[in-house]
């Protein structure tokens, strides 16, 4: 911590948090590196892909560019805070049911963006869902299942509001895809933010690697100075 570190008081997934942050820290850095809430993913780190979406006072923000100091006095909700105990949030359940994920790296961002939409508009049209999600990028699932999942989630939210009990009245994950009866084994981890990827790993004394690019486009390597590296 430097002398410029700031004291903030915030709420993260319903729990009060008082801590100190560096002025340069992003919210993603606070969540992932310091609170170990790695369900929030980072990819582009320039507010282009939506993978890092979390809610601040209910509004979706790109945590990769939102400063951690700016959550002072505000409430942060991440993918880890969405499920109620053992029960998935309807959006998470719908993503499972509709097979709206593959690698799952983009999934927390989509789920949080969908949460913001359904909180504001509980019965969106397909066009409204598409428009709302246009800032989120998925490279492997395709968008049709994701849009279907958000529309399905809207129905589930209404059903639960009407008193429907998912665990007692029908299976929690009715799989409706023709010819299949099984659930994706990794789906629950991916919709809850529990899935870990290489970038989420942290070990004591872990070293970080970085590619050092040549400063010349055409040159012959006659030697590599390794003294500094060997002292690590
Ligand atoms: S990682 Fe934040 S928008 Fe892509
Ligand atoms: S599920 Fe892989 S990027 Fe969307």
- Give the count of beta carbons closer than 10 Å to the beta carbon of residue 13: 17
Q: What does the DSSP 8-state code read for residue 164?
A: -
Q: At which residue do the structure tokens 């010349």 appear?
A: 216
**pLDDT class for 220, splitting at 50, 70, 90?**
very high
For 57: left if phi > 0, alpha if psi spans -120 to 50, otherwise beta; the answer is left
Q: Name every protein residue with a CB atom under 6 angstroms from any ligand 2 atom.
A: 101-107, 138-141
- Dihedral of CA atoms 176, 178, 182, 183 in degrees, nearest 10, equals -50
CA dist., res. 186 & res. 190, Å (int): 6
Among the bound ligands, the one closest to the CA of 44: 1
Structure tokens at 75: 């409430």
Choosing from 95, 113, 140 the residue with most ligand 2 atoms within 8 A of its CB, the one to mutate for a pocket test is: 140
Q: Name every protein residue with a CB atom under 6 angstroms from any ligand 1 atom.
A: 42-45, 47-52, 62, 64
Contact 112, 89 (CB under 8 A): no
**Gap from CA of 102 to ligand 2 centroid (Å):** 6
CA dist., res. 203 & res. 226, Å (int): 25
Among the bound ligands, the one closest to the CA of 100: 2
- Name the pTM for this structure: 0.85
CA nearest neighbour of 40 among 208, 203, 194: 194
Secondary structure E strands in the chain:
6-12, 15-21, 53-56, 59-62, 75-77
Task: Quick: pLDDT tens for 61-101.
Answer: 999 999 999 999 999 999 999 987 778 999 999 999 899 99
pLDDT at 143: 96
Domains identified in the chain and CATH numbers? 6-81 (3.10.20.30), 90-192 (1.10.150.120)
**Gap from CA of 103 to ligand 2 centroid (Å):** 5
pLDDT at 63: 98
pLDDT at 176: 52
Residue 164 has pLDDT above 70, yes or no: no
The arrangement of strands across the sheet holding 75-77 comes to: 15-21, 6-12, 75-77, 53-56, 59-62
**Gap from CA of 88 to ligand 2 centroid (Å):** 20
Nearest-atom number in ligand 2 for the CA of 103 is 2
pLDDT at 101: 95
């Amino acid at each position: 911590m430097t002398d410029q570190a700031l004291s903030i008081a915030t709420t993260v997934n319903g729990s009060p948090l008082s801590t100190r942050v560096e002025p340069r820290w992003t919210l993603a850095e606070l969540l992932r590196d310091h609170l170990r809430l790695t369900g929030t993913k980072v990819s582009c780190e320039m507010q282009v892909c939506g993978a890092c979406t979390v809610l601040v006072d209910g509004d979706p923000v790109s945590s990769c560019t939102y400063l951690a100091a700016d959550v002072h006095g505000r409430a942060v909700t991440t993918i880890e805070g969405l499920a109620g105990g053992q029960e998935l949030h309807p959006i998470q359940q719908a993503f499972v049911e509709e097979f709206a994920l593959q690698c799952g790296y983009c999934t927390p961002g989509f789920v949080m963006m969908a949460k913001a939409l359904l909180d504001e508009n509980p019965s969106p049209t397909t066009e409204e869902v598409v428009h709302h999600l246009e800032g989120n990028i998925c490279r492997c699932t395709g968008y049709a299942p994701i849009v279907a999942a958000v529309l399905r989630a809207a129905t589930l939210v209404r059903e639960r509001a009407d008193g429907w009990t998912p665990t007692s009245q029908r299976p929690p994950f009715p799989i409706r895809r023709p010819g299949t009866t099984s659930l994706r084994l990794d789906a629950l981890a991916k919709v809850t933010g529990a899935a870990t990827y290489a970038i989420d790993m942290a070990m004591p004394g872990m070293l970080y690697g970085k590619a050092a690019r040549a400063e010349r486009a055409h040159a012959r390597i006659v030697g590599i100075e390794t003294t500094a590296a060997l002292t690590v």
